[in-house]
Chain A
Amino acid sequence: ETGVTQTPRHLVMGMTNKKSLKCEQHLGHNAMYWYKQSAKKPLELMFVYSLEERVENNSVPSRFSPECPNSSHLFLHLHTLQPEDSALYLCASSQGTGWETQYFGPGTRLLVL
């Protein structure tokens, strides 16, 4: 248990569906991250929020839309995804956005049909 929870753990969706991934951290951290993890590939940073403000958006397609209503919660809204978007989506948090240790959630395994 790392103090970062994610729901759902598994998600199957069609290309026309809309769904949301949720992340919650119980560590009192100020920064939160979304990563995409595909098999045998490095982690890809998608979005970074610091004190609820987006500070990084790594050329992610607009079909992924993040939301950070407060420093403890982070959402990733999904719509009209493609099969190549199937992956493990990891949420992480850190105390700040310096070279801080990031604490990861267990991830949401997403399958797009």
Chain B
Amino acid sequence: GQNIDQPTEMTATEGAIVQINCTYQTSGFNGLFWYQQHAGEAPTFLSYNVLDGLEEKGRFSSFLSRSKGYSYLLLKELQMKDSASYLCAVSLMDSNYQLIWGAGTKLIIKP
């Protein structure tokens, strides 16, 4: 079957660094999305990784290892506004529109 695992909740301190992991077991993996969702708001796109390695976008970076079925989202210089849920989702080779979603990681930032 298709499965994605991510921690339910994490806590970090303002100004620090946090890494949110996502592991997947899927057939026909194509790529992996990360979305951010603030409470009561729409999920918004953060990154899409297809190739192995680290991609950096400002304070946020996303890493993918296809051989290990593993990705992480790295958030640096944490700000209070980074408190949100972070969703990872896998796109599959044999489906143009069906994404396999994780349940999301709720990140709590403390002063």
* Chain A residues with a Cβ under 8 A of chain B: 2, 4, 31, 33, 40-43, 45, 48, 50, 55-56, 90, 94, 96-99, 101-107, 109
**Is chain B's binding surface mostly helix, strand, loop or mixed?**
strand
Say whether A42 contacts B96, CB under 8 Å: no
Say whether A42 contacts B4, CB under 8 Å: yes
* Chain B residues with a Cβ under 8 A of chain A: 4, 8, 30-31, 33, 35, 40-45, 48, 87, 89, 91, 96-104
With A40-B8, A97-B97, A99-B30 as known contacts, state yes or no: A104 contacts B42, CB within 8 Å.
yes
Cα(A50)–Cα(B95), bound, Å = 14
Say whether A101 contacts B97, CB under 8 Å: no
With A2-B44, A104-B42 as known contacts, state yes or no: A33 contacts B97, CB within 8 Å.
yes
